[in-house]
Structure 1
């Protein structure tokens, strides 16, 4: 099972994106675990996940977080996709990063 972790300032707004991503994954029978945490919880979760997505509001932390993920894929979610809660698009982008 693929595991994707989303991270934002407090984990609140990103949790709505997670719900949309889960609906998209279920509709396509994709076996994936998707969760969201606040940035202060990021380090405690690195070993558990295959891919990391940062909310646009913390894009300034990307370089610091890259150094913590042991070469695993990490990116900032496209601001437009995030704002419009395009769960399917964000899921597709995340899965493409892993392959």
Structure 2
């Protein structure tokens, strides 16, 4: 099972994106665990994920999250995909980065 962690400011808007990503994962018949947490709580599970995705609003904290994540890749979600809540595009990009 793949684990994706989305990191944002407070977790509100990202929860909608998580739901859309989960819908796409079901269509792909992939078993993927997707979690969203604020930056302040991300350190608890960042190193256990396969990839950590940052919301565009917290991209300035990328180096901080990278230090929490260890060897786990950290990427910033495309602003357009985030703004339109394009769960399909965000999930596809995450899966590419995991491989």
TM-score, scaled relative to structure 2: 0.95
2:59 corresponds to: 59
1:70 corresponds to: 70
Unaligned runs of 5+ in 2: none
1:20 corresponds to: 20
1:39 corresponds to: 39
Give structure 1 regions of 4+ aligned residues with deviation exceeding 4 angstroms: none
Most deviating of 67-76 and 87-96: 67-76
1:4 corresponds to: 4
Distance in 1 separating the partners of 2:49 and 2:66:
14
Kept in 2: contact 1:6–1:54 (CA 8 A)? yes
What secondary structure does 2:45 align onto?
A: helix
Q: Across the two proteins, how many residue pairs are aligned to each other?
A: 99
TM-score, scaled relative to structure 1: 0.95
Kept in 2: contact 1:46–1:69 (CA 8 A)? yes
Kept in 2: contact 1:2–1:33 (CA 8 A)? yes
User: What is the Cα-based RMSD across aligned positions, in Å?
Assistant: 0.8
